[in-house]
Amino acid sequence: MFSLQPGITPLPIVIAYFIIASIIAIFIVKKGKNKMKLMDFVVAGIGGVIVAFADHVIGDAIFLPSPIYPFVNPPVWFRILVFIIVIGVVRKVGAGMLAMGVFDITGDLIHFSFTGEPLWLIEDVLTYGIMADVVIYLTQGRIFGIGEKKLQALLAIFEGGILGIVFSFVHPFFTYGFIAPIVFGFVPDQARIFFLLISYIPGDIVIGAISALAANRVAKVVRSGI
C-alpha cells in the first residue's frame, strides 16, 4: 500500500522514527533534572495557545502566492518564533512536547478541526516538541545561552539554527509526505517533497536563530516579572 511512489514517505521509516522518538522522550523526561512545576505547566499551556494563534491566525492571514510560500512561510516562521520563545521561557524537559500538544489541540479547534487526529498530535509532539526537548536536555536547561555567563548570543544563534534545520524536515516528510495525503486524500509529489525541504532550510535556519535571540531576551523579561 505504501511505497516511495508517487512520493509518500515509506511507512517503515515513519514508524521507526516515531518509535525511536518515543523512547528518547521517555528517557529524557525520566532523566531530566529539573521537573516541571505547576507554573511551568501554565506557561506551556498558554504558550501552546499563542503558538496556535501566531501560526493559524497571524501566519495564515499573510497570504502569499504559492511559489513564494516555501521560501517565505509566515505560518511556519511564526510557529518557530513563538514556540522557541515558549521553550526559552520554561527551559525544562517536557515543555516542548507539552506546548506542542496544546498547540495541536487548540490549533485543531480553531483551524483544521480534528481531521486526522491523533496523527497530527503524535507528529507535533514527537517532532517539533521532542527536538526542542532534546536540546533543553543536552543544554541542561540553559537553552539559547540563557543562564550562561559568556557567548550568550552565539549560543542562541547556534542552537536556534540547529533547531531550524531539524524543524525543516518535519513538514516535507511527515506532514506533506505522509499524514496529509492519508487525511485529505491527495497524492504527494516526490519533486515537491524535495523542493519543500530545500526551500524550508534557509528560512528556518534564519528564523530559528532570530527566534533564539528573541527567546533569550523575552525569557529574561518574563521570568523577572513572574
Binding site for other proteins (CB under 8 A): 1, 6, 36-39, 41-50, 52-54, 57-58, 60-63, 66-67, 70, 78, 81-82, 85, 89, 98, 101-102, 105-106, 108-117, 181-187, 189, 191-193, 195-196, 199, 214, 218, 221-222, 225-226
- State which residue, 52 or 143, has the beta carbon closest to other proteins: 52
Find the distance separating the first CA and the last CA of the chain, reported in whole Å. Answer: 53
Number of H helices, E strands in the chain: 10, 0
- State which residue, 78 or 167, has the beta carbon closest to other proteins: 78
Instruction: Give the C-alpha separation, 96 to 32, whole Å.
Output: 13
Minimum separation from the CB atom of position 97 to other proteins (A): 10
Minimum separation from the CB atom of position 25 to other proteins (A): 13
Instruction: Give the C-alpha separation, 167 to 30, whole Å.
Output: 24
What angle do helix axes 190-225 and 74-90 make, rounded to 10 degrees?
A: 40
Instruction: Give the C-alpha separation, 161 to 205, whole Å.
Output: 4
- State which residue, 149 or 224, has the beta carbon closest to other proteins: 224
Minimum separation from the CB atom of position 180 to other proteins (A): 10
Instruction: Give the C-alpha separation, 1 to 158, whole Å.
Output: 41
- State which residue, 86 or 155, has the beta carbon closest to other proteins: 86
Is 70:78 a contact under the CB 8 Å cutoff?
no
- State which residue, 104 or 204, has the beta carbon closest to other proteins: 104
- State which residue, 131 or 215, has the beta carbon closest to other proteins: 215
Checking phi first, is residue 166 left (phi over 0); if not, alpha (psi -120 to 50) or beta?
A: alpha
Q: What is the enclosing helix (H) or strand (E) of 185?
A: none
Minimum separation from the CB atom of position 29 to other proteins (A): 12
Q: How far is CA 27 from CA 10, 33, 134, 137, in A?
A: 26, 12, 10, 10
Minimum separation from the CB atom of position 150 to other proteins (A): 26
Give the cell for residue 65. Answer: 502566492
- State which residue, 71 or 138, has the beta carbon closest to other proteins: 71
